[in-house]
């Protein structure tokens, strides 16, 4: 059958059929090659820029290098916040094949707590740049480091990194003033440029560290590295060194700070010392403090719980946020308010009984002195701290003139230039009471205000700040921490100081109040006569404040209750009273008698004015003393 068909075959026709098909195929081949060329043209010419960028993004890794943080010095050049090198064990998860194996091997060489593993795993799972290393164990000891270095080559993706970490050499007495740095949280990143903080280990959280974050941080450097697909660094393409943050010199005197802190003894409380000529804060103490070093690399839950739950509230910054009744320390200010508003004069006499009544059948507002003081004038009312005088004065004035005058003296406002979080205290007014209690201001409310009790609440910083105005005879410089900001030589001097002058109708009244405050010490009936005998003249005022309420966070514990009910003891003072160099406010919570803060103030005066420190404070002398 096959042979029969062959007979009819037209070979030439079949040949040309296939040849035609080959030519058609050849044309199709050319068309398809044209498609490929078109595709290459699209990728290599049209989209070239896009793919070039993409290829560079692949191979170039930008590693931000955090700048060394600026140091914080005290007024004498003592370093209060330092940078120290530490070695940490870090791991690049992308390069680890078997974590449980690695864990076993590492634990054979090193003690690693389960918490450290947990925190490592947590960070590993949260979002981060690929191939960025994660810290497993911080602050290796020298022995650990040495032990590790022997075996380090064995593990790909495990390395020991040297980093600078913040260190506060003098611990808890300075914590509330200097503040601390801590781990950067999402919340922190919302208020700074996250690009700048890439690779940074910490950010200022409180105190000077917080307020001057921008100055202290500096400008991060950048390494442009060439990496391969597995993140291994092949070469460094470009490098921009970081610019260190600016150093800050504070007005703070480290010896004075520590001395004040120690002098509070076992009491809770606060001490503020201000140089009235500049507003510079010489000491800002809140006791108890805490070790700020705990926070630097992230505080453990356990440690934080201890601090947070302590009934002594170590984390609470009493200097800035403590709300206290100013008590009798308000009297010099109240006297000035009375003079300014024409409700009192230096000459006018007042018979001070043991109590004061708004109306004959009303409530008796008691004087601290049972039998009363007899006939007194304005000066004597300050010297002997005559309560009834101020009851009647405040009642006569009413709240509005009081409010307006005290407002000028930094009551009711944060009263500090360069620390965040200072409280406004409470300077009450008619409007405030209406808004808060839906009640009018009663005369009785004014009576209490007269002796710095009742609704009025002030922070130690406010009372100290107000005292500087009397010390300066009407000139107010906003209290501030920083003295100089700049590089190592402190070339940049920060000059913008907020200054205010309070002019009285009779400017001589400043001097007269100062004289009265001098007599608080020098007069034989003065409430602070125990401070007599100094080579310089002190002006001051005592105060004992009733503890009228408990603070929110505190618990009731019967055995502690009694101590709690003791009065707060306060003292304001400045010296030398003619041309004051230092203003001090001190409060001993539940201190009972104002003798304690008065004695403390005198110690600080001796120390600051006469360099009369106990020897044990020599270690806090700065180098350029």
Catalytic sites, residue numbers: 328
Q: Does 21 help bind other proteins (rule: CB under 8 A)?
A: yes
Q: Does 85 help bind other proteins (rule: CB under 8 A)?
A: no
One character per residue 517-536, x = contact with other proteins (rule: CB under 8 A): --------------------
Q: Give 35 or 493: the residue with its C-beta nearer to other proteins.
A: 35
Min CB(96)–other proteins separation in Å: 17
> In DSSP terms, which residues pair with 477 in a beta bridge?
499
Q: Does 22 help bind other proteins (rule: CB under 8 A)?
A: yes
Min CB(55)–other proteins separation in Å: 4
Choosing from 4, 5, 111, 370, the residue that interacts with other proteins (CB under 8 A) is 5
> In DSSP terms, which residues pair with 334 in a beta bridge?
none
Q: Does 238 help bind other proteins (rule: CB under 8 A)?
A: no
Q: Does 35 help bind other proteins (rule: CB under 8 A)?
A: yes
Backbone phi, psi, residue 497, to 5°: -105, 135
What is the Cα Rg of the chain in Å?
37
Whole-angstrom CA distances from 587 to 421, 527, 539, 597 are 20, 16, 17, 6
Q: Does 54 help bind other proteins (rule: CB under 8 A)?
A: yes
**Which one of 42-50, 266-274, 523-531, 586-594 is the stretch in contact with other proteins (CB under 8 A)?**
42-50
CB of 539 closer than 8 Å to CB of 577? yes
Min CB(249)–other proteins separation in Å: 49
Q: Give 190 or 229: the residue with its C-beta nearer to other proteins.
A: 229
Q: Does 59 help bind other proteins (rule: CB under 8 A)?
A: yes
Choosing from 146, 189, 219, 234, the residue that interacts with other proteins (CB under 8 A) is 234
Q: Does 156 help bind other proteins (rule: CB under 8 A)?
A: no
CB of 502 closer than 8 Å to CB of 469? yes
Q: Is 86 helix (H, G, I), strand (E, B) or coil?
A: strand
Q: Does 14 help bind other proteins (rule: CB under 8 A)?
A: yes
Interface of this chain with other proteins, residues 430 to 449, rule: CB under 8 A: none
**What whole-number distance in Å separates Cα of residue 103 and Cα of residue 175?**
37
Instruction: Count residues binding other proteins (CB under 8 A).
Output: 43
Choosing from 58, 113, 240, 506, the residue that interacts with other proteins (CB under 8 A) is 58
Min CB(31)–other proteins separation in Å: 11
Min CB(57)–other proteins separation in Å: 9
Structure tokens at 365: 């507002």
Min CB(58)–other proteins separation in Å: 5
Interface of this chain with other proteins, residues 340 to 369, rule: CB under 8 A: none
Q: Does 37 help bind other proteins (rule: CB under 8 A)?
A: yes
**Which one of 43-51, 298-306, 332-340, 539-547 is the stretch in contact with other proteins (CB under 8 A)?**
43-51
**What whole-number distance in Å separates Cα of residue 315 and Cα of residue 299?**
13
Choosing from 110, 112, 192, 227, the residue that interacts with other proteins (CB under 8 A) is 227
Q: Does 44 help bind other proteins (rule: CB under 8 A)?
A: yes
Q: Give 39 or 239: the residue with its C-beta nearer to other proteins.
A: 39
Return the H-helix or E-strand segment holding 331. Answer: helix 331-340
Q: Answer positive or negative: Cα dihedral of 297, 302, 303, 309.
A: positive
> In DSSP terms, which residues pair with 588 in a beta bridge?
269, 569
Cα pseudo-dihedral 304, 308, 314, 316, rounded to 10: 120
Structure tokens at 128: 């981060």
Let me know how many helices (H) and strands (E) the chain has, helices first.
Answer: 24, 22
**Which one of 45-53, 156-164, 434-442, 488-496 is the stretch in contact with other proteins (CB under 8 A)?**
45-53
Choosing from 19, 240, 345, 506, the residue that interacts with other proteins (CB under 8 A) is 19
Location of structure tokens 């593990």? 155
Nearest to 383 by CA among 578, 512, 513, 519: 519
Choosing from 1, 4, 12, 39, the residue that interacts with other proteins (CB under 8 A) is 39
> In DSSP terms, which residues pair with 163 in a beta bridge?
86
Q: Does 579 help bind other proteins (rule: CB under 8 A)?
A: no
Q: Is 292 helix (H, G, I), strand (E, B) or coil?
A: coil
SS (H, E, C) 447-516: HHHHCCCCCCEECHHHHHHHHHHHHCCCEEECCECEEEEECCCCCCECCCCCEEECCCCCCHHHHHHHHH
Min CB(152)–other proteins separation in Å: 24
Q: Which DSSP string do the residues of 549-574 spell out, in sequence order?
A: S--TTPPP-HHHHHHHHSPEEEEEEE
CB of 231 closer than 8 Å to CB of 243? no
Choosing from 29, 219, 493, 550, the residue that interacts with other proteins (CB under 8 A) is 29
Whole-angstrom CA distances from 355 to 343, 369, 505, 539 are 20, 9, 32, 27
Q: Give 9 or 191: the residue with its C-beta nearer to other proteins.
A: 9
Q: Does 33 help bind other proteins (rule: CB under 8 A)?
A: yes
Q: Give 234 or 565: the residue with its C-beta nearer to other proteins.
A: 234
Location of structure tokens 């003592």? 78
- Binding positions for other proteins, rule: CB under 8 A: 2, 5-6, 8-9, 14-15, 17-19, 21-23, 25-26, 29, 32-33, 35-37, 39-41, 43-45, 47-48, 50-52, 54-56, 58-59, 226-230, 234
């Amino acid at each position: 059958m096959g042979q029969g068909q062959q007979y009819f075959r037209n070979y030439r026709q079949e040949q040309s059929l296939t040849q035609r098909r080959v030519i058609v195929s050849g044309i199709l081949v050319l068309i398809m090659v044209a498609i490929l060329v078109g595709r290459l043209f699209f990728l290599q010419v049209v989209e070239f820029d896009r793919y070039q960028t993409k290829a560079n993004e692949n191979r170039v890794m930008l590693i931000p290098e955090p700048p060394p943080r600026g140091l914080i010095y005290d007024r004498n050049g003592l370093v209060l916040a330092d940078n120290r090198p530490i070695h940490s064990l870090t791991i690049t998860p992308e390069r680890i094949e078997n974590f449980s194996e690695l864990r076993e091997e590492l634990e054979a060489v090193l003690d690693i707590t389960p918490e450290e593993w947990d925190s490592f795993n947590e960070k590993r799972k949260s979002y981060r740049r690929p191939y960025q290393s994660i810290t497993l164990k911080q602050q290796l000891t020298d022995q650990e480091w040495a032990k590790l270095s022997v075996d380090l080559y064995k593990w790909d993706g495990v390395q020991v990194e040297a980093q600078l970490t913040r260190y506060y050499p003098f611990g808890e007495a300075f914590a509330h003033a200097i503040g601390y740095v801590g781990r950067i949280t999402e919340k922190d990143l919302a208020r700074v440029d996250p690009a700048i903080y890439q690779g940074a280990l910490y950010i200022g959280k409180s105190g000077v560290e917080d307020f001057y974050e921008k100055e202290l941080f500096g400008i991060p450097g950048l390494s442009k590295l060439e990496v391969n697909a597995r993140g291994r660094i092949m070469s460094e393409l470009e490098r921009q060194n970081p610019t260190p943050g600016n150093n800050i010199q504070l007005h703070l005197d480290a010896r004075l700070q520590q001395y004040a802190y120690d002098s509070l003894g076992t009491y809770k409380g606060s001490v503020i010392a201000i140089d009235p000529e500049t507003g510079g804060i010489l000491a800002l103490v809140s006791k108890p403090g805490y070790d700020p070093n705990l926070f630097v690399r992230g505080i453990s839950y356990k440690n934080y719980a201890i601090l947070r739950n302590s009934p002594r509230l170590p984390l609470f910054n009493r200097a800035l946020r403590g709300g206290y009744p100013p008590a009798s320390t308000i009297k010099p200010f109240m006297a000035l308010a009375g003079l300014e508003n024409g409700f009192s004069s230096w000459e006018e006499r007042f018979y001070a009984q043991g109590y004061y009544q708004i109306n004959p059948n009303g409530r008796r507002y008691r004087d601290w002195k049972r039998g009363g003081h007899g006939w007194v004038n304005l000066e004597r009312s300050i010297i002997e701290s005559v309560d009834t005088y101020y009851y009647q004065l405040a009642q006569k004035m009413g709240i509005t003139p009081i409010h307006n005058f005290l407002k000028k003296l930094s009551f009711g406002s944060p009263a500090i230039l360069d620390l965040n979080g200072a409280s406004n205290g409470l300077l009450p007014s008619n409007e405030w009471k209406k808004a808060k209690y839906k009640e009018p201001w009663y005369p009785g409310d004014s009576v209490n205000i007269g002796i710095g009790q009742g609704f009025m609440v002030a922070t130690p910083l406010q009372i100290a700040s107000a005292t500087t105005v009397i010390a300066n005879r009407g000139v107010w410089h906003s209290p501030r921490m920083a003295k100089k900001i700049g590089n190592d030589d402190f070339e940049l001097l920060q000059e913008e100081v907020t200054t205010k002058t309070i002019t009285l109708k009779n400017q001589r009244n400043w001097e007269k109040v100062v004289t009265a405050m001098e007599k608080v010490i020098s007069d034989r009936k003065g409430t602070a006569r125990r401070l007599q005998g100094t080579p310089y003249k002190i002006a001051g005022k005592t105060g004992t404040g009733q503890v009228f309420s408990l603070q929110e966070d505190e618990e009731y514990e019967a055995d502690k209750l009694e101590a709690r009910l003791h009065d707060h003891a306060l003292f304001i003072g400045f010296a030398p009273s003619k041309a004051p160099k230092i203003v001090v406010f001190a409060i001993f919570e539940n201190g009972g008698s104002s003798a304690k803060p008065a004695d403390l103030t005198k110690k600080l005066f001796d120390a600051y004015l006469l360099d009369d420190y106990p020897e044990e404070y020599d270690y806090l002398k700065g180098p350029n003393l």
